[in-house]
Amino acid sequence: MARRKTYRLMGLAVITGGLLFASCTNDSLAPPTSDVDAMFNRFVTIGNSVTAGFQSGGINDSTQLESYAPLVAAQMGLNDTTEFQLPLLNRPGCPGPFTDIYTQTRVGGGSSSDCALRELRFDHRFNNVAVPGAQVKDVVTNLDPASSPNPLTTFILGGASQLEAALENEPTFVSVMVGNNDVLGYALSGGLSPTAPTAANDFDQDYQTIVNSLVAAGVQGGILVGVFNVTNIPFLSAGQVYAGAQAGAQLPPPPFLTLLNCAPPSPGANSLIPFSYGIPKVDSAAGGANVTIDCLNDAPVLNPTEAGVAVQAIADYNAIISDAAADAGWAYYDPNPTLDSLRAAGEIPLFPTPPPTTEPFGEWFSLDGVHPNAQAHTLIAQKLIEAINAEYGTAIPSVN
Amino acid sequence: MRRATLCLVAAAAVAAAAPGALKAQGFQVNEHGTCVMGRAGTGVASPCNDASSIFYNPAGMAVQNAGWTVAAGVTVIAAIGNFEADWSAEETKLANNPIPVPHLYGQYSTGKWAAGLGVFVPYGLGTVWPDSFEGRFNGYDNDLRSIYIQPSAAYRINEYVSVGAGVDIVVGSLELTQRVDMTTIPIDGVDPSNGLFGQLGIPYHTDIANADIKGSGATGIGGNIGIWVRPTPRLEIGARYLSRVTLDYEGTAEFIQVQNGIILAPQNPISLQNPALPNDQPLPLDLVVAGAGLFDPGAPLSDQTVTTSITMPDQFTVGASFAVSPTLKLMGEWQWVHWSLFETLEADFEFAPDLLLEENYKNTNGFRFGIDWMASEKINVRGGYLHHQGAAPNETVTPLLPEGDRNEFTAGLGIRFGRNWMVDLAYQFINQDQRRGRVREPFPGDSPTVELNSGVYTFNAHLLAATVAVNF
């Protein structure tokens, strides 16, 4: 009897010893995790050149990291190398950004057609899927005849559309900033190419497709950003500003530079002269040539009628975007009050500062006069964070 | 003549079934007999009477019943595993089917001398994943077999000591089926900008080809030596060493284009750089690949020869068995395997860039505890537990071999029929620690790091075995 008990005890000891060895050290998943709210775990940004980080006429891995998109993601507590990834472009860029717009000098000394290719990355998913130049149609598809892809479309998205690339991320939260390019080309070309902004009905259809697709995919929340009033960017200067500068002896006098219909009370006083059209004329006049700018009749100039078309298109787009946000229960941010206040405060120059200068378009715009600079991206990020926090009651910390 | 035929059948049967052996540290396989399996692999000190000591400890051959012993059996392995991705928690399940692995031994013992032959597979692996799995670029249908044919002899010096040894004639083959990632393919001939497809924006892990790499006919010679000591009537001690064997494989690599269906937008960098392609139309990437000559004879993705070399590491086992009573034995073992030999895996391709995978395996220790209780003259009841360390370091846990530390539990039953026949049954459950791993390789020239890990591998297996042995 005692021996049997001994056997049992020894057997028990062996089993106990085995169980002691049987300790498991299981590893666990490391999913993307926001420090602020689980809703932000998989944050994806759809957008245009502003979202992508295009500045000063170029884009590279430096400007991409200055975009508001990674800034907001960082404030959401997402790691910038594993939890919010960018399709980074090698330096000097694709193309390299300007270092001086007056001399057209770029980072690395290249031209606007040079591209240093994309960095090789391990992940086929990118959180910032925005493509410079993208119109609302391009977010849905790059293969439609109405689409307007460019080389960066492939460099950033491969063969996908922004919407496809975004959905592959299974996003929990999105931001969408599109629409600027649906009117920008019209405005910057003086209404020449294209001859009209994207029709509001077409814009509405594609925008609804974007939002509805994201909602159907289970996105928990988002913020839709309105279209900037592109007639307020420093790349465009009013005819009357030119006239005033000439009256103040800041521009060559006639007959070197003749301004027609640019001074009040002419209707042309409110025309908008693109930097790329007006400044070369000024330079020629300064060099002794006789040149003329007709603020009502020169094709590259955005006359008041054309400017009105642009402004109306922007208003239509923003009504569509605002309604879409309300329908989805998402946040909406209209950037124009901020843009207007900066302009009213004189922080956006009405006329580009002549060389030598490091800020020809002021402290908020990059060297191309169209795209916001790093400081402006910080401001945009802060405004988006405030709008998100207000809509969802979250506490994303402010951008420093 | 009959014995020779039996050996050939045994070798053929083991060779046919070997690929299913995904169940040990590194690509090591430990289950080579149902009796020993039932007691958690403890076979070095107290051999079973089924001639399996030819593998577990050749010295044990002379300790078994005198006369002929022939054993035949099968182990069915049902592996269950998956990879769960960090990003989406999406699971991809291992697609291995249950595999029957037969085992056969034969020996003759005078009680003083013994000789025999065993055929077994101490190293092998088989991993099958769906070909849609993101890890398909590491390998989704992989098979490695190292068949050991071991003629052996043992001599019992006296009542207390026996020694034995065998010569291992090793025949190896391997097959690796994987997808080729387009992003790392040079775009020479497609785009004069001289980069890689990935630098043009083609998404990482885009299929361009299926690669079927086969190598066979590798041979090597090794040895298996052992000693058995019984210092007291109740205590048995055994030790055994299996030498390393290096196998040099020569084979072929066959590449077939895989359609990825990607259509690039107009104005893409390929069209813009190539005057032969329209830049105002969408561009099917598959057509670009088909026209790039990548699969032409002599091109990187043409059919070609490949050579590689793999060393099956040496292993040392020592253990003891204590007879608590005439009917109850307790056994314990420690095994060391020289896995640090598996430092790199290199493949030399005729045309494609050579492959160099850093594996950096670590030596492993295994601890096994078993019980064998003779419940009656006709019934033995067995059980046990073993713990094996994982050989792969944290940065090389891949779809090819997603292994880790394992805790394994066994139960077994031995039933005697008459004086000569014995049927053994055993069950083994393998519980591997969940382990973080990767589904991607570092870029050429880079070393793997844990930062490449992007999910968790889970692996379990159920093993059922049965053996019929006869002594005459």
Task: Tell me the nearest-neighbour CA distance from B363 into chain A, angstroms.
Answer: 19
**Closest to A386 in 3D by CA, of A375, A397, A373, A378:** A397
Would you call B268 and A153 a contact, using CB atoms and an 8 Å cutoff?
A: yes
**Distance between CA atoms of residues A14 and A30, nearest Å:** 37
Would you call B263 and A159 a contact, using CB atoms and an 8 Å cutoff?
A: yes
Nearest to B269 among A123, A147, A154 (CB): A154
**Which residues partner with A25 through β-bridges?**
none
Number of H helices, E strands in chain B: 5, 21
pLDDT tens figures, A249-262: 999 999 999 999 99
Kindly identify which residue of chain A lies nearest to residue B430, measuring between CA atoms. Answer: A22
Has residue B26 got a pLDDT over 80?
Answer: no
Has residue A336 got a pLDDT over 60?
Answer: yes
For residue A117 the two structure tokens come to 């290719």
Kindly identify which residue of chain A lies nearest to residue B408, measuring between CA atoms. Answer: A22
ipTM of predicted complex: 0.91
For residue B435 the two structure tokens come to 């382990």
Has residue A164 got a pLDDT over 70?
Answer: yes
For residue B126, the model assigns a pLDDT of 86
Per-residue pLDDT band at B17 (split at 50, 70, 90): very low
Q: What is the mean pLDDT of chain B?
A: 91
Chain A CB contacts of B285 under 8 Å are 159
**Peptide bond preceding A92: is omega within 30 degrees of 0, i.e. cis?**
yes
Would you call B324 and A10 a contact, using CB atoms and an 8 Å cutoff?
A: yes
- Environment class of residue A15 by beta-carbon count within 10 Å: exposed (0-12), middle (13-18) or buried (19+)? middle
Per the CB < 8 A criterion, the answer to whether B295 and B301 are in contact is yes
What is the three-class DSSP state of A302? strand
Backbone angles phi, psi at B234, to 5 degrees: -100, -20
Contacts of A170 (CB under 8 A, 6+ apart): A42, A217, A218, B87, B88
pLDDT tens figures, A122-156: 777 899 999 999 999 999 999 999 999 999 999 99
Would you call A119 and B199 a contact, using CB atoms and an 8 Å cutoff?
A: yes
Nearest to B267 among A24, A42, A150 (CB): A150
Would you call B285 and A159 a contact, using CB atoms and an 8 Å cutoff?
A: yes
Amino acid sitting at position A281: K
**Closest to B342 in 3D by CA, of B317, B312, B316, B307:** B312
Backbone angles phi, psi at A208, to 5 degrees: -65, -35
Kindly identify which residue of chain A lies nearest to residue B282, measuring between CA atoms. Answer: A143
Nearest to A26 among B200, B205, B433 (CB): B433
Per the CB < 8 A criterion, the answer to whether B182 and B195 are in contact is no
Would you call B86 and A32 a contact, using CB atoms and an 8 Å cutoff?
A: yes
Backbone angles phi, psi at B150, to 5 degrees: -125, 95
Per-residue pLDDT band at B16 (split at 50, 70, 90): very low
Kindly identify which residue of chain A lies nearest to residue B441, measuring between CA atoms. Answer: A122
For residue A160 the two structure tokens come to 């996908």
Per-residue pLDDT band at A374 (split at 50, 70, 90): very high
Has residue B356 got a pLDDT over 60?
Answer: yes
What is the three-class DSSP state of A75? helix
Measuring CA to CA, how many Å separate A260 from each of A245, A246, A301, B49? 14, 12, 12, 111
Per-residue pLDDT band at B11 (split at 50, 70, 90): very low
**Distance between CA atoms of residues A33 and A172, nearest Å:** 11
Would you call A159 and B264 a contact, using CB atoms and an 8 Å cutoff?
A: yes
Has residue A1 got a pLDDT over 50?
Answer: no
Per the CB < 8 A criterion, the answer to whether B368 and B384 are in contact is yes
Kindly identify which residue of chain A lies nearest to residue B436, measuring between CA atoms. Answer: A27
**Distance between CA atoms of residues A111 and B442, nearest Å:** 33
Nearest to B204 among A124, A155, A170 (CB): A124
Task: Tell me the nearest-neighbour CA distance from A263 into chain B, angstroms.
Answer: 42
- Higher-scoring residue by pLDDT: A280, B196: A280
Phi-psi region of A314 (alpha: psi -120 to 50; beta: other; left: phi over 0): alpha
Nearest to B266 among A3, A124, A149 (CB): A149
Has residue B14 got a pLDDT over 70?
Answer: no
- Higher-scoring residue by pLDDT: A173, B30: A173
Nearest to B202 among A30, A42, A158 (CB): A158
Per-residue pLDDT band at A104 (split at 50, 70, 90): very high
Per the CB < 8 A criterion, the answer to whether B412 and B426 are in contact is yes
Cα A226–Cα A229–Cα A233 angle in degrees, nearest 5: 130
Kindly identify which residue of chain B lies nearest to residue A165, measuring between CA atoms. Answer: B203
A316: enclosing H helix or E strand: helix A304-328
Q: Whole-prediction pTM value?
A: 0.88
Contacts of B69 (CB under 8 A, 6+ apart): B49, B50, B51, B105, B106, B107, B108, B109, B116, B469, B470, B471
Chain A CB contacts of B265 under 8 Å are 142-143, 147, 149, 153-154, 157, 159
Measuring CA to CA, how many Å separate A345 from each of A6, A114, A341, A382? 93, 38, 6, 19
Report, as an integer, the average pLDDT of A209-213. Answer: 98
pLDDT tens figures, A220-235: 999 999 999 999 999 9
Contacts of A309 (CB under 8 A, 6+ apart): A186, A191, A196, A197
Which one of A8, A14, A89, A150 would you mutate to disrupt binding with B, by most B Cβ within 10 Å of its Cβ? A14
For residue B3, the model assigns a pLDDT of 36
Nearest to B196 among A27, A120, A125 (CB): A120
Chain B CB contacts of A160 under 8 Å are 203
**Distance between CA atoms of residues B315 and B224, nearest Å:** 10
Chain B CB contacts of A159 under 8 Å are 202-203, 262-265, 285
Tokens 């005729």 belong to B350
Report, as an integer, the average pLDDT of A77-101. Answer: 93
Other CB atoms within 10 A of residue A12 CB: 10
For residue A293, the model assigns a pLDDT of 97
For residue B4, the model assigns a pLDDT of 35
> Cα B244 to chain center, whole Å?
15
**Distance between CA atoms of residues A387 and A375, nearest Å:** 19
Has residue A373 got a pLDDT over 50?
Answer: yes
Tokens 């361009």 belong to B208
For residue B12, the model assigns a pLDDT of 39
Would you call B203 and A21 a contact, using CB atoms and an 8 Å cutoff?
A: no
Per the CB < 8 A criterion, the answer to whether B241 and B338 are in contact is no
Chain A CB contacts of B455 under 8 Å are 29
Per-residue pLDDT band at B116 (split at 50, 70, 90): very high
Chain B CB contacts of A9 under 8 Å are none
Has residue A90 got a pLDDT over 60?
Answer: yes
Contacts of A106 (CB under 8 A, 6+ apart): A57, A58, A92, A93, A95, A96, A97, A98, A99, A112, A114
For residue B289, the model assigns a pLDDT of 92
For residue A9 the two structure tokens come to 């005890």
- Environment class of residue A263 by beta-carbon count within 10 Å: exposed (0-12), middle (13-18) or buried (19+)? middle
**Distance between CA atoms of residues B447 and B461, nearest Å:** 31
Would you call A154 and B264 a contact, using CB atoms and an 8 Å cutoff?
A: yes
Backbone angles phi, psi at B426, to 5 degrees: -150, 150
> Cα B81 to chain center, whole Å?
15
Report the relative pairing of strands B304-312 and B245-257 from DSSP bridges. Answer: antiparallel
Would you call B268 and A149 a contact, using CB atoms and an 8 Å cutoff?
A: yes
**Distance between CA atoms of residues A278 and A272, nearest Å:** 10
**Peptide bond preceding A95: is omega within 30 degrees of 0, i.e. cis?**
yes
**Distance between CA atoms of residues B39 and B465, nearest Å:** 12
For residue B64, the model assigns a pLDDT of 87
Chain A CB contacts of B266 under 8 Å are 142, 147, 149
Q: What is the mean pLDDT of chain A?
A: 93
Would you call B456 and A160 a contact, using CB atoms and an 8 Å cutoff?
A: no
Which one of A21, A122, A128 would you mutate to disrupt binding with B, by most B Cβ within 10 Å of its Cβ? A122
Measuring CA to CA, how many Å separate B443 from each of A86, A87, A102, A121? 18, 17, 41, 9
